[in-house]
Amino acid sequence: MNSKIIDEIKKLKKEKNAVILAHCYQNMEIDEVADFVGDSLYLSQMAAKTDAEIIVFAGVYFMAQTAKILNPDKKVLLPRLESGCLMADMINLDQLREFKAKHPGLPTVCYINSTAEVKTECDICCTSSNALNIVKSLNAPKVLFLPDTYLGKWVESQLENTEVITYLGYCPTHLRIKPQDIISAKEKYPDAKVLAHPECHAEVVKLADYTGSTTGIMKYAAESDSKTFIIATEKGVVDRLQRDYPQKEFILIKDNIICPNMKWHTLEDIYNALEHEQYEINVAQNVALKAKKCIDRMLEVSKQCQTKA
Ligand code: 13P
Ligand code: SF4
């Protein structure tokens, strides 16, 4: 059944010169048709590079919006419009202005998990994989960071001379992971390495052997000599790791670490997206132009860091 729809999607992709970008929290069946699967940074880099005419984004709304901002002349499709990011929706432009007014004159970093409007009034954006380098690049004793307080405070904990003042946003999925969950899992699997996403609570991150983005976690697990890993992020990462490294064991810290918004898209939705060219994501030109500066600046700093590494 799946193989028929997979073939049809591939045919449509070719006919329409489309590319499919998928976040690694997606249902795994999506990987069968995706051209690129990865974390937010990788997907925005791929969106910035593609010469396809249509971009289908199997991810959440802000990711498709970012792809559109980077590609104003291309058609960007989000197969299910319900797929928003709860964290991104925690701050709007008025709330951003209020936050900035309380701390005037400070450079402002927004997590890519934010709306295009919010990006228009921030200096630079970041993803979980480059947040540390982005904040460092500002060379400032104090910075504002939004919306994720946990990622912002994790960055601060990695720096000696920078105060990171954070907005109180968070990811409800990652906050379901409690320090006691890690302690119990370590008792059960004493030899396992704990790998955590920086959106987790600070007390959870403190118990981890490694903290990084979804791709960072996957890379660490691939390169490590350990055989067992306790994974403190969304289930999609565990599913992919278990598929790619069957000789190792990956334990999802808790059954319910699932982002409901990421899981909306099915193969059928991807097919419908391509067939009917739905649902098109547009960003008003004045908003897109300003938000693009904030994203371009991040891509530039990331490129410099990758060249140096
Ligand atoms: P990554 O940047 O690690 O892909 O994370 C995106 C995200 O939304 C995590 O919840
Ligand atoms: Fe947003 Fe959390 Fe889902 Fe990531 S896991 S997309 S931060 S709600």
Residue-wise pLDDT for 215-269, tens only, equals 999 999 999 999 999 999 999 999 999 999 999 999 999 999 999 999 999 999 9
Q: Which atom of ligand 1 is nearest to the CA of 113?
A: 8
Q: Give the pLDDT band (50/70/90) at residue 1.
A: low
Q: What are the residues whose beta carbons fall under 8 Å from the beta carbon of 171, sequence distance 6 or more?
A: 86, 87, 113, 148, 150, 199, 259
Q: Which residues line ligand 2 (CB under 6 A)?
A: 60, 85-87, 113, 171, 173, 199, 234, 259, 261-262
Residue with tokens 């792809």: 67
Q: What is the pLDDT of residue 187?
A: 98
Please tell me if the CB atom of residue 239 comes closer than 6 angstroms to any atom of ligand 1.
Answer: no
User: Does the pLDDT at position 305 exceed 90?
Assistant: no
Question: Comparing C-alpha atoms, which of 66, 16, 11 is closest to residue 33?
Answer: 11
Across 5-33, b (16+ Cβ under 10 Å) vs e yields bbebbeebbeebebbbbbbbbbbeebbeb
- Termini Cα distance of the chain: 45
Q: What is the pLDDT of residue 4?
A: 96
Across 281-297, b (16+ Cβ under 10 Å) vs e yields bebeeebbebbbbbbeb
State the distance from the centre of ligand 1 to the C-alpha of 24, rounded, in angstroms: 9
Please tell me if the CB atom of residue 213 comes closer than 6 angstroms to any atom of ligand 1.
Answer: yes
Residues 186-211: what's their mean pLDDT? 98
State the distance from the centre of ligand 1 to the C-alpha of 238, rounded, in angstroms: 14
pTM over 0.75: yes
In this structure, of 77-81, 237-241, 299-303, the range with the lowest mean pLDDT score is 299-303
User: Does the pLDDT at position 3 exceed 80?
Assistant: yes
- Ligand having the closest approach to the CA of 212: 1
For ligand 2, atom 1, name the residue with the nearest CA: 85
Q: What is the pLDDT of residue 308?
A: 74
Residue-range domains of the chain with CATH:
3-82+262-278 (3.40.50.10800), 88-170+290-308 (3.40.50.10800), 174-252 (3.40.50.10800)
User: Does the pLDDT at position 307 exceed 80?
Assistant: no
Ligand 1 pocket test, candidate residues 21, 24, 36, 39, most atoms within 8 A of CB: 39
Q: What is the pLDDT of residue 309?
A: 65
Percent of the chain with pLDDT over 70: 99
For ligand 2, atom 2, name the residue with the nearest CA: 171
Q: What is the pLDDT of residue 2?
A: 87
C-alpha angle 198-129-76 in degrees, rounded to nearest 5: 110
Q: Give the pLDDT band (50/70/90) at residue 106.
A: very high
